[in-house]
Amino acid sequence: MKKNRLHPVLRGTALIIVTVLLAKIFVATSCSIPSTGMENSLYKGERVLVNKWSYGLRLPFSEHRIGTGRPQKGEIVLFNNPNPQRATTPVYQREVFISRCVGTPGDTLMLNSELLPTDEQIFSPDSKAMYLYPFEGDALMKETLSRLEIEDNNLTGYQDGMLMRSFSYYEYYLLQQELKGKLNLTRVNQSDSKGHPFIIPAKGFTVKVYPWNINLLCNTISRHEGKRATVRDHQLYVDGFPVTAYTFTQDYYWMSSNTPANVFDSRLFGFVPQTHLIGKASFIWFSPKKGRTFNRVQ
């Protein structure tokens, strides 16, 4: 009789274990916040439940997905490390990070020299703007335009006793590098930009190569696109051929920590491929701080 009573208990226990394992594999998983990088959204020591169906369920031991979905800007996302110490480590075996999505496929972000998003107006590198410079610098300007093989579009006017010409953001960048402070260019009606436009790659989308994104594109192509990519003499080479643009084969995202001092985000490992996404952080199921347990993650 005692033996018969044990059977239902064992079966019940086994059923619970199997149910929990299946739920963790196919429905949701738990993540412990290891640092202060996401404060005040998430605090160190908190545990959050991650919805694995948010962006399509990634099959176990695989990069394939059931269903599709994209993170929205502002969502806090769990994902595998895009740049592990051993590149041959399968994606599903890599360490996990949690950060906020601030850039989705096809977006353009203005990032400063530290790759932090700025509040500057986003514009195309090829869009034109008006710049002023002193009369006495016109000879140097024409010489520099000729050396850089930038079309001399002639003067477009005068303002406040200064000469005025039209340049794209890319041309302005090249001029600044070449002039090295010998001639100051002032953007009309706007302050000089302190950031550069970075396009977040999307599947089938062609991204131009610029001096400020060349290394980031090179790393992304070599790590995630299955191509050999190198930079030599300020030129990007893919599979041994020089390129001025590259068409990507998958979607990517830009992830950012809440705390700038925490560099475990896209500043460290670059773009995050769709294949590395695990899911969206949904709610806090444990917190050492009073009143935060069962709060939704925002």
Q: Is residue 260 part of a domain?
A: no
Q: 51-108: per-residue pLDDT in tens?
A: 988 898 888 777 778 878 899 999 999 999 999 989 899 998 999 999 999 999 999 9
Instruction: For residues 2 and 10, give the distance between their C-alpha atoms in angstroms, rounded to a whole number.
Output: 13
Q: Is residue 293 part of a domain?
A: no
Residues 79, 154, single domain; the answer is: no
Determine the Cα angle at 148 with ends 142 and 150, to 5°. Answer: 70
Tokens of 233: 């003499």
Cβ count near 200 (within 10 Å): 22
Q: Are 138 and 163 in contact (CB under 8 A)?
A: yes
Residues 102, 135, single domain; the answer is: no
Residues 22, 100, single domain; the answer is: yes
Instruction: For residues 284 and 275, give the distance between their C-alpha atoms in angstroms, rounded to a whole number.
Output: 25
Domain boundary among 187, 212, 231: 187
Quote the number of domains for the chain: 2
Q: Is residue 74 part of a domain?
A: yes
Q: Is residue 259 part of a domain?
A: no
Q: Please, what is the angle between helix 169-179 and helix 138-147, to 10°?
A: 110
Instruction: For residues 237 and 232, give the distance between their C-alpha atoms in angstroms, rounded to a whole number.
Output: 8
Q: Is residue 249 part of a domain?
A: no
Residues 90, 154, single domain; the answer is: no
Residues 30, 99, single domain; the answer is: yes
Q: 126-167: per-residue pLDDT in tens?
A: 777 888 999 899 999 999 999 998 877 666 677 777 888 888
Domain boundary among 169, 187, 205: 187
- The reported pTM is 0.78
Domain boundary among 187, 220, 235: 187
Residues 82, 143, single domain; the answer is: no
The domain containing residue 43 runs over which residues? 11-106+270-286
